[in-house]
Structure 1
Amino acid sequence: MGAFLHSNNVGRATTLFDEMIKEGVFLDSMAYFTLISGLTQVGKLDGAYSNVSSMKKNGFRVDIKSYNTLISGFCKNKRLDKAFEIHDEMCKVGLRPDIFTYNTLIDALCKVGDFSKADKFLSEMGDDGCKPNVVAYGTLINGFCKAGDLDRAMKFFRSMMCERGRPTRLL
Structure 2
Amino acid sequence: MSRVPLLYDAALVNVSIPNAAELIRSLENVPLTAIALGVEETDQHLLRLAESGASGYVPLQGDVDDVIGNTEAAIRGELSCPPQITFSLWRRIGSIAADDPRERPTVHLTRREQEVLSLIALGASNQQIARELFIELRTVKNHVHNILRKLGVKRRGEAASRARELIGWSSVTPGDTRGRRARNPDRPGV
TM-score bracket, normalised by the shorter chain, equals 0.3 to 0.5
Bigger relative contact order (CA 8 A; separation at least 6): 2
Is the helix fraction higher in 1 or 2?
A: 1
Is the strand fraction higher in 1 or 2?
A: 2
